[in-house]
Structure 1
Amino acid sequence: MKLDLPTLSAVFSQITAVLGALLMFSWALNRKVQALAWWSIAFFLVLAAIGVVSLGHGMPSAPERLIANVALTLAYGMLYGGCRVFNGRKAKLPVVFAGAGLWCVAFWLIPDDINVRLALISAICTVYAAFSAWELWRHARQRLASQMIAVVLMISLVIFNVMRGSIGFSLAHALWLTGYAERWSSSMAMAVATFMPTLAFVFLSMAKEQIEYEHRQAALVDHLTGIPNRRAFLENAAALLSKQDNPVSCLLFDLDNFKSINDRFGHEVGDHVLVIFGSVLSDHLPQGVFGRLGGEEFAAMVTMEAPGAEALAERIRHSFFSVGKIVQGLRVEVTVSVGCATGACIPVQHLLREADIALYRAKAQGRNLVTSFKTAVAQQS
């Protein structure tokens, strides 16, 4: 199919400009997703590269080729930097700019041979695309569906640049480089004009998915202690019980005399006490199901029978008493009471009720104790 290259170049430039502006506008609306700004700059750099190549007539001059490929390598570098930033990692600026620097040095050292220079620029772009694919796959904070699509797109860029650098030796004048005489080929223009909107759409989808994921996580995390909240605990506990046929134990914790701590030392100290207990639970149950139910009440669900669960509760009680003696320079000496209940194939709420009965008994016996449901029932009868 014969295409009007000047028109196609103009349309592609407009599309790239709009996509770059859209990414930058999306970043302006939500500064948390900083990767959008990096990717926006990458799009504008691609626009600059194509613009430089398409401005003149006939074969581009040496300065034009130098500037265009510097912009292109920087675009790939920004693409890689954006992938790192999206994953919550620092963008390594020396790596981002390394490709452009290598091209600037090599441009004046290598022979003035289009195939050799094509191989070099393709190799640089291949490395950046491969790094971007690896970054999105290996260091993903969450397995987002759109992020997996982005990995596929990065791999397609790797394949494209490998073919461009290798097949280009013999087919440069027949495929995507119809000699620099035509500035850029219709085949390449069509491929890039299709790829760029797809890539921009995937980047925007990644940002949207990440924001939605963070909102869901925020709804399941207690804002003060940073551990799961009541809703998350109940959901995780129900999921754990549904997978278990063996006995599961529920540990219900209540900080002793917490109201008096707030009254004597202030709410700031009281809040810090809650944070300390949340950290103690996290240390003792790194992969476990636990959370803050509200106020000074916490709970945990463990796949242990009663003796093991009670021993774990004792360790948590002792650890909290040890680290909670001094809080923000004040001698607080906080303690916690614990109720334990064990059962198999029973609902979460049933275990919580039994653990609450045991907790009530621990409070009645003087606090700073671990009491089981069976013991509480036996003492009541």
Structure 2
Amino acid sequence: MIVYALGTLVVAVISLGIWWHDRSNKASALLGFACVAGIVGAILHGLRLVLPFWLSTGLGFPIAFVGIGLFWSAFAAFDNRRPNYLMVFAGALLSLAIYPLSLFQDSTVFRAVIAAMVFGVYNGLAAWEVYRGGLREPLPSRPLACAINLGHALLWLARIPFALFVAPPVDAQEHYAAWFVTLSLLSALSNMFGMFSVAMLAKDRSERRYKIAAETDALTGLDNRRSFIAKTEEMLARPAEAAAMLVCDLDYFKQVNDTDGHLAGDRVLVTFAELLRRHMPENAAVARFGGEEFACLLPGARLEQARAVADAFRQAVERQAIPFEGRTLSVTVSIGVAVKGEGRAPLDLLLASADTMLYLAKAEGRNCVRAMQLPAALAASAGRGGASDQAGAVAGRTLNSRPA
């Protein structure tokens, strides 16, 4: 209990310090108060030869059970779920309810079984909270945190068969059974690991959020240009697969900002991004390049398929009514498409070619799709010339052949 109390004190100071500087961090607050309750309960029960029974056990048990209930609720709060405070105090209420029973007051075996059940169940619930939180937000440390709390639950539940069938945890002379000493030390260490598992999860979440912030566009939630380039270069590294690059640009978007304001422009961009997510295939890489320009790579798409996807999306944008402050906004989009067949083609060539098709769509009246197929010979020789020069050569051929 001394080992447990000292280790828990460290976690309590750290957790409450974090909460003191960030009052919105409910998980740290719950963990800190769980540690405080655990320390008080452990000290009271540890002084049972000095303190009266009603204080050491009658009050020590409920306080310790409140601590483990708060510990479980900290994991729920970490995943933004509202803790069930009735369940948090259920173990303490059970302890107070059975306190008057002579079996509780006279039998160390009965008290050991009750404590093992309460701590085992709450630690099992903590493991469950970690697991189901991982279904929504997978973090690298979740499997370890789940295993730690599940292992801690099993250590507590293992006391039940030992107490019932091997030996009482404490005999009449206040001598501890060897199994009780061993499991108590293991539980104390496991409990500290369980508390630090919250810190592990918090660290992983912070890293994940920094990574998301670095790779996504803050307004639309789509990938930004840097993240898009990294993903698409990896996709294009598979030369045996065709791929299509779509570059989209909202028509007359500046007029929306100038006439209706930048908030209206933001609403248009967010709605456009949602439409883009909804209409592009699941395996597509989609990004906002900046301003009103968006890009999308369709792995495996050939010319006709890419053109059909782009035109269906164009029509969806044209039909979309965007409510804003009591009125309705509408926009259209021009799309340039460049498709490579089987074989290698660098990303900058695909982007430059799709950009050329986008400029052509703008020049021919906007709200349309213009598409081209990269000649196989040009893609094969892409490493021997600049992307802009080769895109210009492709554009010249495409203009002469009147692209769709």
* Same topology, TM > 0.5: yes
Distance in 2 separating the partners of 1:27 and 1:178: 43
CA deviations over 1:99-130 (Å, ceiling 9, x no partner): 22233223335733332332223122222111
Q: How many residues align?
A: 371
Q: Which residue of 2 aligns with 1:370?
A: 369
Are the counterparts in 2 of residues 58 and 180 from structure 1 also a CA contact under 8 Å?
no
Shift in alpha-carbon separation, 1:178–1:324, aligned structure 2, 3 A: farther
Which amino acid counterpart does residue 126 of structure 1 have in structure 2? G
**Preserved CA contact (<8 Å) 1:60 1:180:** no
1:29-63 CA distance string (max 9 Å, x none): 45565322222222111101111112342686145
> 1:140-191: CA deviations, max 9, x gaps?
14433333222221122121111112211244545xx566947997546643
Q: 2:317 & 2:199 partners in 1: Cα distance?
A: 45
Alignment-mate amino acid for residue 16 of structure 1: T
Partner deviation per Cα, 1:61-88 (whole Å, 9 max, x = no partner): 1453232221222222112211122223
1:323 lines up with 2:320 in the alignment: yes
- Identity among equivalent pairs (%): 27
For structure 1, which runs of at least 5 residues remain unmatched after alignment?
A: 1-7
Unmatched runs of 5 consecutive residues or more in structure 2: 374-393
Deviation (angstroms), 1:325: 5.9
TM-score, normalization by structure 2: 0.82
Asked if the contact 2:75–2:198 (Cα under 8 Å) also holds between the matched residues in 1, the reply is no
Name the structure 2 match of 1:246. 241
Residue 35 of structure 1 aligns to a residue whose secondary structure is helix
1:54 aligns with 2:53: no
Partner residue of 1:230 out of 220, 225, 229: 225
Secondary structure of 1:108's counterpart equals coil
Deviation at 1:19, TM superposition (A): 2.0
Question: Per the alignment, in what secondary structure is the counterpart of residue 225 of structure 1?
Answer: coil
CA contact (8 A) 1:59 1:180 kept: no
DSSP 3-state at the match of 2:103: coil
Give the alignment partner of residue 40 of structure 1, picking from 14, 32, 44: 32
Q: 1:39, 1:78 within 8 Å by CA — same for their partners in 2?
A: yes
Greater mean alpha carbon deviation, residues 315-324 or residues 26-35: 26-35
Give 1:309 deviation, angstroms. 1.6
CA deviation after TM superposition for structure 1 residue 14, in Å: 3.6
1:93 aligns with 2:85: yes
Deviation string 1:330-368 (CA, Å, 9 cap, x unpaired) is 454311001111114322222111111111111010000
Q: Distance in 1 between matches of 2:45 and 2:270?
A: 59
Q: Which has the higher contact order (CA 8 A, sep 6+)?
A: 1
Confirm whether residue 121 of structure 1 aligns to residue 120 of structure 2: no
Inter-partner Cα distance in structure 2 for 1:325 and 1:192: 58
Partner of 2:338: 341
State the secondary structure of the residue aligned to 1:66.
coil
Partner of 2:12: 20
**What does 1:88-237 correspond to in 2, within 5 Å?**
88-108=80-100, 111-112=103-104, 113-140=107-134, 141-173=136-168, 177=170, 181=174, 187=182, 190-237=185-232
Match of 1:80 in 2: 72
Decide which moves more: 49-58 or 287-296. 49-58
From the superposition, tell whether residues 58 and 182 of structure 1 become closer, same or farther in structure 2 (CA, over 3 Å): farther
1:353 is matched with 352
Shift, 1:326, TM fit = 5.2
8 Å contact kept, 2:45–2:56: yes
Cα distance between partner residues in 2 of 1:186 and 1:45: 22
- Cα drift, residue 296 of structure 1: 0.4
Distance (Å, rounded) in 2 between the aligned partners of 1:157 and 1:373: 62
One-letter identity of the residue aligned with 1:232: S
**In structure 2, what is the Cα distance between the partners aligned to 1:29 and 1:244?**
52
Distance in 1, matches of 2:182 and 2:168, equals 11
Choose which of 59, 84, 97 in structure 2 pairs with 1:67: 59
Quote how far apart the aligned CAs of 1:16 are.
2.3
CA contact (8 A) 1:340 1:355 kept: yes
User: Is residue 4–residue 189 contact of structure 2 (8 Å, CA) maintained in 1?
Assistant: no
- Name whichever of 41-50 and 19-28 sits farther off: 19-28
| Aligned equivalents of 1:99, 1:249: Cα separation in 2 | 60
* 2:294 alignment partner, SS class: strand
| Cα separation, 2, equivalents of 1:249 and 1:105 | 69
CA distance in structure 2 between the aligned counterparts of 1:152 and 1:60, rounded to whole angstroms: 38
Seen in structure 2, the aligned counterparts of structure 1 residues 147 and 189 have a Cα distance that, compared at 3 Å, is same
CA 1:171–1:40: 2 relative to 1, 3 Å: farther
What SS does the aligned partner of 2:217 have?
A: coil
1:206 positional shift = 2.0
